[in-house]
Amino acid sequence: MKLFAVVSFACCLLAYTVSGTPCADICNTQCSLQKKACDIAVILGPLCETVNGICTQACAAACTCADSCAAQCGGDYATCKGDGSDIFNIYSCGINLSICAAPCQLTCNFNLFSGIVNSLSGTGGATKTA
């Protein structure tokens, strides 16, 4: 399952940089295609729905940061690159996109991890008072 999430995340990032389509849309479309293929094999029955649920949850987990950072940094990149006719401009805008995306991804992943830890520990983000 972890391998699927990592591969999905990598594919989503690659797809985003190529086409600008959000990660979750691409990943969930892949889940839908897998479910349709599974449904064709009638033998598997309700297992298809279970696998689809796992797939969409993995997409949500893998794509949360990719999509939010794309929204945060992508607008500036689109404005910067203009019509795309100047290759040097696209290259320099790509560097700026990387500079924006790196801290965004780090912050998002940290917040996501903190939320998971808090939910597992039952604190829900509450602070202790003396």
pLDDT tens digit string along 31-78? 999 999 988 877 777 888 999 999 988 888 778 888 888 888 888 888
40 is written with which tokens?
Answer: 């064709």
**Separation CA 117–CA 19 (nearest Å):** 34
**Of residues 18, 19, 50, the one with CA closest to residue 34:** 50
126 is written with which tokens?
Answer: 């509450």
What local confidence, expressed as pLDDT, does residue 30 receive?
93
Q: Identify the three-state secondary structure at position 101.
A: helix
Our CA angle for 109, 115, 117, nearest 5°, is 100
Model-level pTM greater than 0.85? no
107 is written with which tokens?
Answer: 């912050």
128 is written with which tokens?
Answer: 């202790």
